[in-house]
């Protein structure tokens, strides 16, 4: 006879599990029964609490239910619901985007006082700019009025100028000088004026003499001479500059075209004679074109004298008058020399007499190797 197998310990948990499940099922059945009893009691109570309904009221309620029942197709309603949900989702996304944009574009919080300060500063800048613009506009208006009132410039007619034809001045030439200023030609006639000055000084030399002074050589040493067997300094007579000036002032020479006077030269041994044009004198272009004019009579006289050269000192305002005067001299064949001039007078030294003077301080000798450039030779044009 076979042996009975002994029970193993592994079978005990399974039996316990079956017992537990049976207990749970039993409890659930009891709960379901209790729920059913509770529902039956609740239904009975609801039905007992309802008021009695007549047949007419029931029919009326059915009509209301039928009336409130939607007539649309359920599929169509479902599609519309989906579209509504999509639109709602899209609107939500747009709203989020707008919120972000508003956050970005919203101005940062700033101090109100700082804003007011900036506003005041910008107002000041604006007012300053406005004042400057107003000034500029006023200046523009002023310039426009000036332009409108300015007469249109009409250039003068063209002037024909001959090309120069340089020629050497003849040796021992007699130079007759003219000044052209203010559109007029003045004959200086300085040769005759100088003769008159020399004669007047010689005639009145006793009252004009300053005294006798020793003659000195180029090095400043006195020149010696023998007198009665003795070496004595050689003396020379000098004239007083102030006396000479006053003498010619007292003469009161008649003034026509030129004013003649002698002026002091405190640091020179020779005194200059000065000729100054008189604005009421001289001859304009129309005047000296007349054959009887002083200018034409002088040119005809110079033509008859050999080696005579006419020298013109021309002011920049009288080039046209000089060109007209030169044309006539050219037709007569008298050589002409001219130069631009700026002094309001002409003067030359009285070489025949020495006057008292204070020698200027000696200039230092030029450094060794200094190149001296000779003045250019004057030529007739």
- So what's the pLDDT on residue 12? 56
CA distances to 72, 255, 330 from 292, rounded to whole Å, are 134, 21, 18
Residue range 232-286, pLDDT digits in tens: 888 888 999 999 999 999 988 877 899 999 999 989 999 999 999 999 999 999 9
Q: Check: CB of residue 349 under 8 Å from CB of residue 204.
A: no
Please name which of 144, 189, 143, 168 lies closest in space to residue 281, comparing C-alpha atoms: 189
Residue, of 122 and 41, whose pLDDT is higher:
122
pLDDT at 99 over 90: no
Residue range 108-136, pLDDT digits in tens: 555 788 888 888 888 888 888 888 888 88
Mean pLDDT of 138-153: 84
How sure is the predictor about 69, in pLDDT bands with cuts at 50, 70 and 90?
Answer: low
Percent of the chain with pLDDT strictly greater than 70? 85
- So what's the pLDDT on residue 181? 95
CA distance 183 to 283: 8
pTM of full prediction above 0.75: no
pLDDT at 166 over 90: no
Q: Give the count of beta carbons closer than 10 Å to the beta carbon of residue 248.
A: 18
- So what's the pLDDT on residue 325? 95
Q: Check: CB of residue 268 under 8 Å from CB of residue 359.
A: no
Which stretch of 108-112, 173-177, 206-210 has the lowest confidence by average pLDDT? 108-112
Mean pLDDT of 136-157: 83
How sure is the predictor about 1, in pLDDT bands with cuts at 50, 70 and 90?
Answer: very low
Residue, of 45 and 363, whose pLDDT is higher:
363
Question: What element of type H or E holds 96?
Answer: helix 74-105
CA distance 277 to 260: 9
pLDDT at 207 over 50: yes
Which stretch of 65-74, 84-93, 103-112, 130-139 has the lowest confidence by average pLDDT? 103-112
């Amino acid at each position: 006879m076979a042996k009975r197998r002994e029970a193993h310990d592994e079978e005990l948990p399974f039996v316990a599990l079956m017992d537990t499940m049976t207990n749970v099922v039993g409890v659930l059945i009891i709960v379901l029964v209790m729920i059913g009893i509770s529902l039956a009691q609740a239904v009975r109570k609801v039905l007992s609490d309802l008021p009695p309904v007549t047949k007419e009221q029931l029919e009326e309620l059915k009509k209301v239910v039928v009336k409130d029942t939607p007539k649309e197709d359920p599929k169509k309603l479902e599609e519309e619901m989906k579209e509504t949900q999509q639109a709602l989702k899209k609107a939500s996304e747009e709203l989020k985007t707008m919120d972000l944009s508003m956050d970005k574009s919203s101005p940062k919080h700033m101090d109100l006082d700082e804003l007011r300060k900036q506003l005041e500063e910008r107002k000041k800048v604006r007012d300053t700019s406005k004042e400057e613009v107003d000034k500029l506009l006023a200046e523009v208006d002023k310039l426009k009025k000036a332009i409108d009132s300015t007469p249109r410039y009409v250039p003068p007619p063209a002037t024909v100028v001959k090309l120069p034809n340089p020629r050497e001045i003849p040796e021992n030439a007699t130079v007759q000088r003219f000044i052209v200023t203010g559109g007029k030609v003045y004959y200086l006639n300085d040769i005759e004026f100088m003769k008159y000055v020399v004669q007047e000084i010689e005639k009145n030399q006793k009252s004009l003499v300053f005294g006798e002074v020793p003659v000195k050589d180029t090095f400043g040493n006195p020149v010696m001479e023998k007198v009665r067997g003795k070496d004595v300094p050689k003396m020379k007579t000098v004239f007083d500059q102030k006396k000479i000036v006053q003498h010619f002032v007292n003469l009161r020479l008649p003034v026509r075209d030129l004013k003649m006077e002698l002026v002091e030269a405190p640091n020179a041994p020779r005194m200059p004679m000065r000729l100054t044009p008189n604005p009421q004198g001289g001859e304009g272009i129309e005047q000296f074109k007349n054959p009887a004019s002083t200018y034409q009579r002088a040119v005809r006289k110079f033509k008859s004298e050999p080696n005579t050269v006419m020298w013109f000192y021309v002011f920049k305002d009288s080039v046209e008058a000089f060109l007209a005067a030169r044309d006539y001299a050219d037709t007569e064949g008298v050589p002409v020399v001219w130069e631009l001039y700026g002094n309001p007078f002409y003067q030359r030294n009285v070489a025949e007499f020495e006057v008292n003077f204070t020698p200027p301080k000696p200039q230092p000798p030029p450094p060794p190797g200094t190149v001296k450039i000779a003045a250019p030779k004057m030529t007739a044009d």
